[in-house]
Chains A and B, each alone.
Chain A
């Protein structure tokens, strides 16, 4: 049995310990904002924060997160970074089908929480693990920069 926290709530997980965190979140806890895209850490749709780090939940067994704090798209902290990213995503009208966007936003918030002023190269590096088949990449880049700029002005 694994114990961990999802969006602040203590979870006792009784199914197979090799169950990926993704399926614990989706099928057992019932939070469906975290998406299944590839099952092998190639697309980033399943990105969550584990102790604040962007993590591909589809290849992270629950046995590896014992005692750790998991945040999903539904449980992002009510922080300036979260607000800035959400506002920028809406301002730039980023989403199309929207399926990959929770993962994109988890990667973007993890990046900006650590590095509020990323360079273009750092944005590319942090965001290139998240596939978007609608090709919203240009607006994603613009939105990360917009969020970054708004974080700067508030300091």
Chain B
């Protein structure tokens, strides 16, 4: 939606109070704010005659609960009736920029609630002030004599609904210097609040991107190259066109698209395609086996980019004991439940897109480029989305670009739908990594030095984020959680060896912490074990100066019954990780069942600052644990002759209900601003389980997933 459209559609909502507001960039992850930000003052809130309040949610709802927590923040200050709150997801418009990310419209980095916390409360407070002012003017009293209560302005024996005041209030200027409530005055924030989007989801009524219906809509599927880096050389569509329901066969940049009336016709058509591929020689020999050998050899080379140098480079020379550990992490697909999809209607001079996307403005620009339009001519309808975990935040907008190329060539409305096989084999993975650590200990088990070499692809190289987050050959997302560890480790040295591959890389829930936390937390355990120290007690010593870490660690230890007796055949393991401004500790209780790891209980403690919705925090920590645990136990993608061996959930295994441990989530009370919640629960689970398995079996899993290890 361009700015003019935005104003038009907003002003068309007669009788509605609409309000918008923008805070200057807080600049946490991204330093600079855009120079100028002038926005229509009506972006976040509408109040209708019947007193319903519609909150426009600026972030993508893909499970993390923003469609409830952001309205809670607005409602807290607005004093509206929570039972009359409705929501809609915002389209692409700079006003919906992420306050922490220089105004870029991004749902990611576990920042949705954190960056909205002040902004959404102020939206509510300003609207309330305007409504009170409108009533005061109407009743010829001072606004100080009135208050807002559950959707009404009341005072002096009079009462008027927000809906009846909205017209007048809308004409008032935005008030300045509005004060927000103190936390002690909150009625909604901090209270367990059930999700606003649940009833429709339970009834199957929610319209996801894949459910979009449009007139004359054609379903498209694409045959992508079976080998990374390959291009279409030639193709034969004779058999395809004979299949009933197939309407178009179109070559696009990434492969060949087949269109049909419905998915099954298109998919059947694709199955009949004959394509000859141009396979680059370097792709043809690409295999996990080769990468494993190459990465391990690279990790031993001295030429890595220096992330952190040791104060004493010879610290390991006098060690009484040296721990040498090499770790391997596989490629991982995000495998969100809703396969990628995108609906496009390309018209003369404009286009409309329906998609679930974490970066609508990036996708809008990419679509415009393909369609030969200005970004403002492309309207993005953000759809409720069946999971993302980073896959729907692609700086290359791969699936959006595909859909636009198809729609442009076919000249019909198109819904591109990926199959699960397309998703598992289509790239944009958590990259494969190898870590090599050498730790020197003195005779008492004290750390003398700690060298860490990390080998893997850069996620951000070649993207618009590169200039901000890749410095001196170091992609911040490859090394986060290592050099910046809160453990007091003398002579810690970290180097990064960046590898280029034709396999597209992308962030995957908790990004670099998916591998760095595993290495750091299992090694800390191993160091503790080397001098027979309790893993919790050992961590307390190395974290003695950090009150936040200690409080989280102590809460997890206490609630898990750390140190108490367990039934035979069970063991506990602990891990504590800071990510996205949040500290999360987990204690996992494991056993072996039929020779395989079984996780029974996980006790999690978290300090994520102020909690807006406790039900969401609990759900997100459970979710993050399930996501990380499935990957740790089962998930891996392997390459052979340049392609991916796995194809669907039968060989790319993820967590099932029968694998789910009982998770208890405990929150460290905090008066700080909210920090991340969606991702910080993921990094600790794999090392906590690995540490428990080591306590149980003496084996330390160096190669993920754990299914690769013989445990019994």
Which positions in A face B, CB cutoff 8 Å?
A: 15-16, 19-20, 23, 26-28, 30, 32-40, 42-43, 45, 72-74, 86, 89-90, 93-102, 105, 124-125, 127-141
Contact = CB atoms under 8 A, between A and B. Distances in A.
Contact of A138 (B198, B389, B662): B662
Given A93-B194, A97-B337, A140-B657, A38 B649 contact: yes
B419 interface: yes
A55 to B, nearest CB: 16
A34 B663 CA distance: 29
A35 B386 contact: yes
Contact of B202 (A19, A72, A90, A130): A90
B625 interface: yes
Contact of B204 (A39, A42, A74, A90): A74
19 contacts: A27-B262, A28-B262, A32-B211, A36-B263, A37-B337, A38-B420, A39-B420, A74-B204, A86-B202, A89-B202, A93-B198, A97-B62, A99-B336, A99-B385, A105-B204, A131-B654, A135-B622, A135-B630, A141-B657
B219 interface: yes
A107 to B, nearest CB: 10
Contacts of B195: 93, 95
Q: Which 9 A-B pairs have the closest CB atoms?
A: A135-B626, A33-B204, A99-B386, A98-B201, A73-B204, A97-B63, A96-B63, A27-B262, A32-B211
Contact of A133 (B210, B389, B419): B389
B419 to A, nearest CB: 6
How would you classify the secondary structure of chain B's contact residues: helix, strand, loop or mixed?
Answer: loop
B31 to A, nearest CB: 32
B387 interface: yes
**A40, A73, A129 interface centre (most CB from chain B within 10 Å):** A40
Interface of B: 61-65, 194-195, 197-199, 201-208, 210-211, 213, 219, 244-245, 261-265, 268, 335-339, 384-387, 389, 417, 419-421, 615, 619, 622-627, 630, 648-650, 654-658, 660, 662-663
Contacts of B417: 36
A78 B49 CA distance: 34
A89 to B, nearest CB: 5
Given A33-B205, A101-B202, A132 B337 contact: yes
B501 to A, nearest CB: 26
Contact of B198 (A42, A74, A95): A95
A33 B211 CA distance: 8
Given A28-B262, A130-B657, A35 B338 contact: yes
A96 B613 CA distance: 14
A138 B601 CA distance: 11
A131 B202 contact: no
A23 B265 CA distance: 10
Contact of B623 (A37, A131, A136): A136
A32 B341 CA distance: 14
Nearest to B681: A135
Nearest to B663: A138
B649 A42 contact: yes
Contact of A73 (B203, B335, B386, B619): B203
Given A33-B204, A125-B658, A135-B624, 5 more contacts: A30-B213, A35-B208, A36-B263, A133-B389, A135-B622
A97 B210 CA distance: 13
B239 to A, nearest CB: 15
A133 B627 contact: yes
Contacts of A136: 619, 622-623
Nearest to B656: A128
Which of B62, B63, B201 has the most chain A CB atoms inside 10 A of its CB?
B201
Contacts of B245: 15-16
A135 B625 contact: yes
Contacts of A90: 194, 198-199, 202
A115 B386 CA distance: 30
A61 B365 CA distance: 41
Given A89-B202, A96-B63, A98-B63, A43 B337 contact: yes
A56 B529 CA distance: 49
A89 B197 CA distance: 12
A138 B622 contact: yes
Contacts of B201: 95, 98, 101
Contacts of A15: 244-245, 262, 264-265
A75 to B, nearest CB: 10
A94 B389 CA distance: 19
Contacts of B656: 128-129, 131, 137
Contacts of A45: 337
A39 B419 contact: yes
Nearest to A123: B657
Nearest to B628: A135
Contacts of A101: 201-202, 204
A96 B620 CA distance: 9
A42 B650 contact: yes
A140 B204 CA distance: 16
Quick one: which of A23, A127, A137 has the most chain B CB within 10 A?
A137
Contact of B263 (A27, A42, A138, A141): A27
Contacts of B623: 96, 134-136
Contacts of B204: 32-34, 72-74, 101-102, 105
Nearest to B263: A23
Given A23-B264, A27-B263, A28-B262, A95 B197 contact: yes
Nearest to B206: A98
Nearest to B423: A38
A59 to B, nearest CB: 12
Contacts of B622: 135-136, 138-139
B263 A137 contact: no
Q: Specify which of A26, A72, A134 lies most central, judged by the most chain B CB atoms within 10 Å of its CB.
A: A134
A154 to B, nearest CB: 20
Contacts of B262: 15, 23, 27-28
A86 B384 contact: no
A53 B358 CA distance: 38
Contacts of B627: 133-135
A131 to B, nearest CB: 6
Given A16-B268, A37-B339, A99 B263 contact: no
Contacts of A96: 63-65, 619, 623
A138 B660 contact: yes
Contact of A99 (B199, B268, B387, B649): B387
Contacts of A16: 244-245, 264-265, 268
B384 to A, nearest CB: 7
A34 B204 CA distance: 7
Nearest to A144: B657
B390 to A, nearest CB: 12
A97 B626 contact: no
Contacts of A86: 202-203
B203 A98 contact: no
B264 A137 contact: no
Contacts of A34: 204
Contacts of A39: 419-421, 648
Interface centre among B219, B338, B421, B662 (most CB of A within 10 A): B338
A28 B206 CA distance: 19
